[in-house]
Structures are given as C-alpha cells and as structure tokens.
Amino acid sequence: MSGHVLQFISRYTIEPLIKADFWRGKFFSEIFLVQAFGRCKGVEFSRNLTGARDKLGFADSELSVLKDSDADKKGEKRTNALAMSQAIYRAVDAKTPDTSVALKAHTQNTFCSLFRNLSALFLLMAVGNVLVASGFTDGTAKSGLLIGLDFALAFVFFVRARQRGEQYVKGLLWSYL
C-alpha cells in the first residue's frame, strides 16, 4: 500500500520536475527523435528513421516532420513532430514487451521508476526532518546534517531517474529499430 502511495506521489511531483528540468516539459520519448532538439543526431537519427519506415510502416512524408529545423519552436510543426516521435516510441514499446527484444531497455524503465520513487521518498524525509527539526532547539547540527543528506540523496536519485529514462528510450529504439 505504501509503495502505491509513494509511486503516486513521485509520479505527480518528481516526474514533472524531471520533465521540466531536462526535457523541456515533455517526455523524453516525445523529443528524442525530433532533430531540432538535438538529442538524436547523425547516424543514429538516420537509423531510427529508416527503422521506423521499414519495420513500423511509417511513410517518409510522416517522418519528415522530425527533420524540420523549426520543430523545437512552439506551433503546429512542434506539435506534429512531438506526436510523431511519441508514436514511433509507442509502436516500438507495444511490440517489445512480449519478446526478449529490448529486455535491457525495459529493465532501465524499471530502474527509472525505482529512482523516481527513491527521490520522492528522500524528498519527503527531508521535508519531514525539517518539520521535526524546527520544533526542537538542541541537536540542530545533527538535524541539519540529516536534512542535507536527505536532500542530497533526493537529488542523486532525481538525476539517476533522468538517466535511466533516457537510457530506456534510446535502448528500446536501438534494440528494435
């Protein structure tokens, strides 16, 4: 029960923070294949588009929105490019869980959730320790150290969640396409 509560809290606190801080307010899967965002370049970008065309059946005209240099600016081009990147990701994600393809990538997704939950847990512990420490006058040095450690661990797990989220999307596309 407490795990579900923690997962709910992390999904609505930590996940939006990760998206805002690292991925321009979107999921990494939405921006990864949009060339204007610069997350997927060169050979990898070409390989992913070729795989999306050949293995998933996307037309070249549909995939061309990913190459648009203005796709990172607000507007219809951006919306279409984000939607296409997400559609490719979802198509691959739907095809891989029942096979042994992309097993490592799916493991990264599990780690992303774990680290997101741990970040939320340590953030909650830090806030709780701040509230407890504010009620007491002695022992503030030990409380300060504990609070600092909680915030530091929350940050470490926050960054790890971002890294694992990116590895999941990259690994999923690499394995399938």
Tens-digit pLDDT string for the chain (177 aa) = 888 999 999 999 999 999 999 999 999 999 999 999 999 999 999 999 999 999 999 999 999 999 988 887 888 889 999 999 999 999 999 988 777 788 899 999 999 999 999 999 999 999 988 888 877 655 566 678 899 999 999 999 999 999 999 999 999 999 998
| 31 class by beta-carbon count within 10 Å (0-12 exposed, 13-18 middle, 19+ buried) | buried
Question: How many Å apart are CA 22 and CA 44, to the nearest integer?
Answer: 21
Query: Domain count of the chain?
Result: 1
Q: How many CA atoms lie within 13 A of 172 on its CB side?
A: 27
Long-range contacts of 152-156 (CB under 8 A, 24+ apart): 153/118, 153/122, 154/119, 154/120, 154/122, 154/123, 154/126, 155/119
pLDDT the model gives residue 177: 82
pLDDT the model gives residue 1: 85
Domain around 122: 2-176
pLDDT the model gives residue 140: 64
Predicted structure pTM score:
0.89
Residues in Cβ contact with 30 at an 8 Å cutoff, skipping those fewer than 6 apart: 23, 82, 83, 85, 86, 89
